[in-house]
Amino acid sequence: MSVVEQPSAKKAAAPSQRSLVALSWLNFFLSGVQTAFGPIAAAYLAAQQWTTKDIGFVLSIGGIASLVSQVPGGELLDAVRAKRLLVAVGVVTVALSTLIFRLWPNFPVVALAEVLQGMTGGVLGPAVVAITLGLVGHAALAGRLGQNQRFAAAGGVTVTLAMALVAFSELPWAMLVPVVLAIPVLIALSQIRAEEIDFERASGGAKHFQGGQTQRAKRQVALLKNHRLLIFAVCSILFQLANASMLPLVSEMLAYEGKRQAAPLVAALIVVPQLLVALLAPGVGQWAEKYGRKPLLLVGFAALPIRAVLFALTSNPLVLVAIQLLDGITGAVLGVMTALVIADVTKGTGRFNLAQGMFGTATGVGASLSPTLSGLIVHQLGYLAGFASLAGEGLVALVVLAVFLPETKEKLPT
C-alpha cells in the first residue's frame, strides 16, 4: 500500500521569533538530556554492583540499536509531517528508559531500556535539524545551525558541570536528571509553531513522493549514487576512525600514569572544547555563507591530526587542556557543516532526512571501530604509536576531503 504525500503550499520561510527562541532552548535542554543519560546510567549500574563486562555489554546494545535506527529514522522523518511529535516521543522514551534503570536494575529490563533509548538516536538529532530546515529554509540554514550548536554546547556543558559538582554522590537522585530535563524539552517543543514548519523544506524540497517499498528502494539507491554525499561520508568515516577514540586514549594514558588529577582533568578536557564550540558555532555558520563550506571543513579536519600529534608529545595537564581547544574548533565546524553539506547535496530531492540517517550509520560504524583499532595498536606498540595511527587516519581524511570533495555551496548568479 502506498501513501501519496501532497506538496506543501509554496511560501517563504518566515518563522516567528517565538519559534526561533523555542528552537534554541530545545537544543539546550535536549543536549542536556542526551549528555546526562550515558554517564549517569553507567555510574548507577556500577553502584548496583554490576560488572564492567555487563555494563559494557548493555551499553553496546544501546549503541547497536542507535546505529540500526539511523536509516529507518531518516525514512520516518521524510514521511511524517508531525516532526515535533516524533521528538516528543523520543524524549519521553529516554525519560522512561531512565526510570527503568532506576526502578528495575536487572539485566533483561535494562537491556530493553537501552534498546529503547538507542532507537531514539535515529530520530532526535536529525528531527531537530529537519525542524530547523522546515522553519528557516535552506538559505538561512547555515546561520541557524550555528545558533543550534551554540545552545546545544551550552546545554551539554551545563549538565556536565552539574554532574561533576554532585560527583554522583546521590546516584539514585542523579538518575532522575534526564527525566527532569525532559519537561523543559517538551515545553520548548510546544512553543515551536507547527504551521511554520514547512514539510517540503524539512524533507529537502521534494514536491511529492510515493511511499511504497519500490519507491523507497529507488530513493536509497539514488542517494548511493550521489557522489558528493559519498565522498563526504568517506571523509567522515575516516575522521571518526581517528576522533572517536582520541579522548578515551588520553583518559586511559592519564589513568595508567597514575595521575591523581585524572578525573577532574578528563572533565576539563570535555568541557573546555564545548565552551569554545558555544563561542564559535554562530560564526562558523556566518563564515560558511560568506566563504563557502570547504575552507571551513579543511580547518576542522586539519585540527584532528595536529591534536593527535600534540597529545603524543606530552602528558602535562595544562598543555593537554590547551591542545583540546583544537577539538573545540573541530566540533564547532562539524557541528554546523555536517547537516549543512548534507542539505546542500540533497537539495530538491526530498531525501534530506534519509541522507542524514544513511550518513549517521556510516559514521557510526567508523566511530564503533575506532576504539578497537586504536586499542589493538596501543596494546602491541604503546601510546605513542596509538596517537601516531590516529594522526595518520586524520591526515588521510583531510587529504581525501581536500582532493575529492568539491565546494557544495551553490554559486549565486552574477
Instruction: Give the tens place of pLDDT for each residue, 248-265.
Output: 888 777 766 655 555 677
pLDDT of 108 over the 70 cut: yes
d(C-alpha 131, C-alpha 110), whole Å? 31
CATH 3.30.565.10 assigned to domain 15-200? The reply is no
Chain center to CA of 55:
23
178: cell is: 534526564
Give 303-330 pLDDT, tens digit per residue.
Answer: 999 999 999 898 788 898 899 999 999 9
pLDDT of 196 over the 90 cut: yes
pLDDT of residue 10: 53
pLDDT of 4 over the 70 cut: no
Examine domains 15-200 and 211-409 and report if their fold is the same: yes
Chain center to CA of 108:
28
pLDDT of residue 327: 94
**Predicted TM-score of the model (pTM):** 0.86
Mean pLDDT in the chain? Answer: 84
pLDDT of residue 3: 35
Lowest mean pLDDT segment, chosen from 212-226, 292-306, 386-400? 212-226
What is the pLDDT confidence band of residue 7, given thresholds at 50, 70 and 90? very low
String of DSSP letters for 327-365: HHHHHHHHHHHHHHHHHHHTTTTT-HHHHHHHHHHHHHH
Q: Which residue has the higher pLDDT, 45 or 295?
A: 295
Domains of the chain, residue spans: 15-200, 211-409
Give 75-85 pLDDT, tens digit per residue.
Answer: 999 989 999 99
HSE-CB for 184 with a 13 A CA cutoff:
17
pLDDT of residue 8: 43
CATH 3.50.50.60 assigned to domain 211-409? The reply is no
Of 102, 17, 116, 119, the residue nearest 68 (C-alpha): 119
Q: Torsions phi, psi of 369, nearest 5?
A: -75, -25
DSSP class of 122: G
Q: What percent of the chain has pLDDT over 70?
A: 85
pLDDT of residue 305: 96
Residue 296 in contact with residue 337, Cβ under 8 Å? yes
Q: What is the largest CA-CA distance in the chain?
A: 67
